[in-house]
Amino acid sequence: MVGLPGQSKADINHTFATLNEWGVEVRAKEYFPYNDMLRNPNVSIEEIRKLDRTEFYHNPIDDVTYSDFLQLLYRNKDK
């Protein structure tokens, strides 16, 4: 998961490096607190729109631009 609360770019890189060392295929996914949002009776249409998986980066990570985020999600696809 990429974008967990409190997660840093260094955390993500460390996790990917460890998984790559172990020979694990990495298929990163963006974290999104679906259950928390859907349990909220006052959820807004804007929050519901965040469920659209054609858009990414709903939970920004310090020091990670949108471009960096997409690189993190897809960089291991050709390996």
Annotated domain spans of the chain: 9-74
What per-residue confidence (pLDDT) applies to 79?
A: 46
Alpha helices in the chain (DSSP H): 9-21, 34-38, 45-49, 66-74
**pLDDT tens track for 12-62:** 889 888 988 999 887 777 777 777 777 888 878 777 776 665 555 666 777
pLDDT of residue 59: 65
- Report pTM: 0.53
| d(C-alpha 59, C-alpha 34), whole Å | 12
Question: To 10 degrees, what angle do helices 9-21 and 66-74 make?
Answer: 10
**Which pLDDT belongs to residue 58?**
64
Q: Which residue carries 């949002």 as its tokens?
A: 37
Say which residues have a Cβ less than 8 Å from residue 3's Cβ, sequence separation at least 6: 30, 31, 32, 57, 58, 59, 60, 61, 69
61 and 12 Cβ atoms separated by less than 8 Å: yes
pLDDT for position 22? 94
Give residue 76's pLDDT: 54
